[in-house]
Amino acid sequence: MYNATEQFADIGKVNYANVVRLASLSLENTEKIVKLNLTAARAALVQGVESAQAVASVKDVQELAALRAKFTEAGVQAATGYSKTLYELAAEAQAEYTAFAEEAWASYTKGVAAFVDKASKSAPAGSDAGFNAFKSTFAASTAAFDQFQKATKQVVNLADANFRAATAQATKTVKGKRAA
> pLDDT tens across 7-29, in order?
778 878 988 999 999 999 999 99
Supply the pLDDT for residue 112: 81
pLDDT band at residue 5 under the 50/70/90 scheme: confident
- 29-67 per-position pLDDT tens digit: 999 999 999 999 999 999 999 999 999 999 999 998 899
Q: Are 81 and 143 in contact (CB under 8 A)?
A: no
Supply the pLDDT for residue 180: 58
What sign does the CA torsion over 72, 78, 82, 88 have?
A: positive
Residue 141 has pLDDT above 80, yes or no: yes
Nearest to 40 by CA among 71, 84, 72: 84
Supply the pLDDT for residue 37: 97
Residue 142 has pLDDT above 80, yes or no: yes
Query: Residue 83 to residues 96, 122, 134, 154: CA-CA distances in angstroms?
Result: 20, 58, 47, 22
Nearest to 98 by CA among 148, 55, 170, 38: 148
- Of the two residues 52 and 169, the one the predictor is more confident about is 52
Q: What is the pTM of this model?
A: 0.73
Supply the pLDDT for residue 178: 61
